[in-house]
């Protein structure tokens, strides 16, 4: 036990030194790291006292749990990069044990709705005028404020300028992975990290930001929870990641906002503890809304999830479903001859992948998409990582989805000062969410990228394995505050213990200790 405690102190001092990239560019330890070290020593002392006292009380009990929890949480901050696979494995092994033990301390029934089957659309109830459904050739713009009026080029073939712009955007959407490791890339990344520091090395700063606030977590799927792979159907989330997200979502409201269809992303993640928003936020299954936005009066539908819980289905682009279906079929047909092309139907948007298409054929992909835009003026194009997406021209994106979910979680929460929304994502489409959080310092955006990128996010993480560490770290930080209080309570109780009544009082105190957690969970 003593060895564990001393190892903990040693780690505490060692681990809060700046990470590899920051050391290279900064070369000195700043105040934040010293403050972290002091705070860590403080935690160590309280744990040490608490452990000794509980050991004296019951020598046979497993008293090393609190220090192990702290060691685990501290060790994770020391990862300079995810390349240290051995340490990662050891770390997650410990976390699993601690996670299980800790779950026995704190029980939660938090679960979020899951609905895999789309709710039937009742057009007349939704108030959609029949004109709006005759979409294919109608060129008239919609009067509603939710529809954007974006000037579009005249229909026809891609001209040289337009074609170059398309190809540039397609090329920059995801550079070849091998090139990233080149000399100099590390230095550029290090410099970029001064502007967007690693969220792992900025724990203290984020923790200060989160002080007395309730955390709400928003996660992207591809490139954030699962690594980018050639075949979108093989973008699987690891069991460790699933375990980490599940444990986190038990205590903090957590939502996944993906470009994929809601059904597909639920199928891939498979957790009932989360909220899901598919098609870049155009398909949200969330908690029952207390206030319905007047901008979208006909897009909310009250329904029940698989567990029979009342939930709210929000689909601001419902009327586009038949159009998207038609576009999907056309694109499948049109790209049939292009080797490697893949088209996905996400119900409210269509993805055209060119990751496996020879670069000399990218122009043909661009032309197919342009033909669709020419035929359907109410659709627009966005870019992702080696993917072009066709979606409705409505004023809705991942940023709006974050605001919507914050509102749903508690009326008006999106503007309240006591909530800290955290959004983690890797793609261009996540920038809308980063922007929303950056405006007015509302929350904290974290970009997942292993190369410098222009972004509205404040912090960065290299890849999904660092996302996993970050998620577990935050969950454990709560356990630390509870064990911290727990240690104090043991100390207090030991000094003050005079009657048997106080022993029975103890569990209730622990419950109060857990209120930090409960507060966060019930925003």
Ligand X SMILES: O=P(O)(O)OC[C@H]1O[C@H](O[C@H]2O[C@H](CO)[C@@H](O)[C@H](O)[C@H]2O)[C@H](O)[C@@H](O)[C@@H]1O
Binding site for ligand X (CB under 6 A): 220-223, 228-230, 232, 235, 258-260, 344, 351, 353, 355, 384-387, 389, 427, 429
Beta bridge pairs of residue 461: 448
Provide CB contacts within 8 A for 30, sequence distance 6+: 18
Residue 402 near residue 421 (C-beta atoms within 8 A): yes
Triad 417, 421, 424: Cα angle to 5°: 155
Distance (Å) of CA 258 to CA 199, 255, 262, 278, 375: 21, 10, 8, 5, 27
Residue 41 near residue 47 (C-beta atoms within 8 A): no
- Least CB distance from residue 291 to ligand X, whole Å? 27
In the complex with ligand X, the residue whose CB is nearer, 386 or 462, is: 386
- Least CB distance from residue 328 to ligand X, whole Å? 12
| Spatial separation of the C-alpha atoms in residues 248 and 257, rounded to whole Å | 16
| Spatial separation of the C-alpha atoms in residues 105 and 301, rounded to whole Å | 38
Dump strand ranges (E) for 2-126.
Answer: none
Of these residues, 84, 168, 183, 220, which one is catalytic?
220
In the complex with ligand X, the residue whose CB is nearer, 226 or 312, is: 226
- Least CB distance from residue 15 to ligand X, whole Å? 31
How distant is the alpha carbon of residue 449 from its chain centre? Answer: 14
In the complex with ligand X, the residue whose CB is nearer, 69 or 400, is: 400
Give me the long-range contacts of 6-10 (CB less than 8 A, separation at least 24): 7/71, 8/44, 8/47, 8/67, 8/70, 8/71, 8/74, 9/41, 9/44
In the complex with ligand X, the residue whose CB is nearer, 135 or 348, is: 348
In the complex with ligand X, the residue whose CB is nearer, 46 or 349, is: 349
In the complex with ligand X, the residue whose CB is nearer, 174 or 518, is: 174
At what angle are helices 501-513 and 464-496 packed, to 10 degrees? 150
Measure the N-to-C terminal CA separation of the chain; round to a whole number of Å.
38
- Least CB distance from residue 199 to ligand X, whole Å? 18
In terms of Cβ atoms closer than 10 Å to its own Cβ (0-12, 13-18, 19+), residue 460 is: buried
| Spatial separation of the C-alpha atoms in residues 450 and 465, rounded to whole Å | 12
In the complex with ligand X, the residue whose CB is nearer, 223 or 514, is: 223
Active site residue 426: no
Provide CB contacts within 8 A for 57, sequence distance 6+: 490, 494
Residue nearest to ligand X (CB): 259
- Least CB distance from residue 87 to ligand X, whole Å? 26
- Least CB distance from residue 229 to ligand X, whole Å? 4
Beta bridge pairs of residue 279: none
285: phi then psi, degrees, rounded to nearest 5: -110, 105
In the complex with ligand X, the residue whose CB is nearer, 201 or 450, is: 450
- Least CB distance from residue 447 to ligand X, whole Å? 12
DSSP H helical segments within 376-463, as ranges? 398-409, 431-438
Q: Of 244, 214, 209, 212, nearest to 226 (Cα)?
A: 244
Is 64 in a helix, a strand, or coil? coil
In the complex with ligand X, the residue whose CB is nearer, 202 or 258, is: 258
| Spatial separation of the C-alpha atoms in residues 195 and 460, rounded to whole Å | 9
- Least CB distance from residue 146 to ligand X, whole Å? 21
- Least CB distance from residue 335 to ligand X, whole Å? 14
| Spatial separation of the C-alpha atoms in residues 287 and 17, rounded to whole Å | 41
User: Dmax over Cα atoms in the chain, in whole Å?
Assistant: 88
In the complex with ligand X, the residue whose CB is nearer, 43 or 219, is: 219
- Least CB distance from residue 263 to ligand X, whole Å? 13
Give the β-pairing of 342-345 and 300-304.
unpaired
Give me the long-range contacts of 49-58 (CB less than 8 A, separation at least 24): 49/487, 49/491, 50/483, 50/486, 50/487, 50/488, 50/490, 50/491, 51/1, 51/5, 51/487, 53/490, 53/491, 53/494, 54/490, 55/1, 57/490, 57/494
Known catalytic residues? 220
């Amino acid at each position: 036990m003593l060895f564990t405690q001393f190892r903990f102190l040693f780690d505490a001092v060692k681990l809060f030194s700046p990470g590899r990239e920051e050391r290279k560019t900064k070369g000195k330890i700043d105040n934040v790291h010293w403050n972290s070290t002091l705070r860590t020593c403080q935690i160590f002392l309280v744990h040490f006292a608490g452990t000794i006292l509980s050991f004296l009380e019951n020598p046979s009990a497993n008293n090393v749990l609190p220090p192990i929890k702290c060691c685990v949480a501290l060790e994770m901050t020391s990862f300079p990069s995810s390349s240290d696979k051995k340490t990662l494995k050891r770390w997650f092994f410990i976390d699993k044990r601690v996670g299980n033990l800790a779950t026995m301390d704190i029980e939660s029934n938090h679960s979020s709705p899951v609905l895999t089957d789309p709710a039937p659309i009742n057009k007349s109830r939704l108030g959609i005028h029949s004109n709006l459904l005759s979409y294919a050739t109608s060129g008239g713009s919609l009067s509603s404020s939710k529809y954007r009026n974006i000037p579009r080029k005249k229909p026809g073939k891609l001209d040289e300028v337009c074609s170059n712009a398309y190809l540039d955007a397609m090329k920059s959407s995801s550079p070849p992975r091998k090139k990233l490791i080149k000399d100099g890339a590390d230095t550029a990344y290090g410099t970029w990290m001064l502007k967007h520091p690693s969220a792992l090395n900025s724990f203290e700063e984020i923790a200060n930001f989160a002080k007395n606030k309730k955390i709400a977590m928003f996660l992207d799927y591809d490139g954030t929870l699962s690594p980018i792979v050639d075949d979108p159907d093989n973008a699987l989330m690891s069991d460790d990641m699933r375990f980490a997200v599940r444990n986190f979502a038990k205590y903090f409201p957590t939502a996944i906002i993906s470009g994929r269809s809601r059904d597909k992303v639920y199928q891939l993640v498979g957790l009932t503890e989360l909220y899901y928003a598919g098609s870049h936020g155009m398909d949200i299954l969330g908690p029952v809304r207390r206030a319905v936005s007047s901008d979208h009066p006909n897009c909310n539908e009250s329904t029940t999830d698989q567990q029979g819980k009342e939930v709210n289905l929000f689909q601001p682009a419902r009327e586009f479903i038949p159009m998207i279906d038609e576009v999907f079929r056309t694109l499948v047909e049109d790209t049939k001859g292009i080797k490697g092309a893949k088209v996905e139907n996400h119900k409210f948007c269509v993805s055209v992948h060119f990751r496996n298409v020879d670069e000399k054929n990218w122009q043909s992909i661009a032309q197919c998409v342009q033909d669709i835009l020419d035929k359907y003026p109410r659709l627009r194009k966005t870019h992702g990582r080696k993917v072009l997406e066709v979606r409705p021209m409505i004023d809705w994106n991942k940023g709006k989805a974050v605001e919507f979910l914050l509102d749903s979680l508690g009326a008006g929460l999106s503007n309240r000062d006591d909530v800290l929304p955290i959004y983690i994502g890797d793609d261009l489409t996540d920038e809308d969410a980063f922007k929303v959080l950056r405006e007015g310092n509302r929350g904290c955006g974290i970009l997942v990228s292993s190369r410098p990128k222009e972004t509205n996010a404040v912090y960065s993480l290299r890849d999904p394995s660092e996302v996993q560490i970050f998620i577990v770290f935050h969950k454990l930080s709560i356990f630390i505050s509870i064990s911290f209080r727990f240690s104090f309570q043991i100390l207090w109780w030991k000094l003050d213990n005079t009657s048997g009544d106080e022993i029975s009082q103890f569990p209730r105190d622990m419950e109060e200790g857990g209120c930090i957690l409960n507060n966060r969970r019930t925003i």
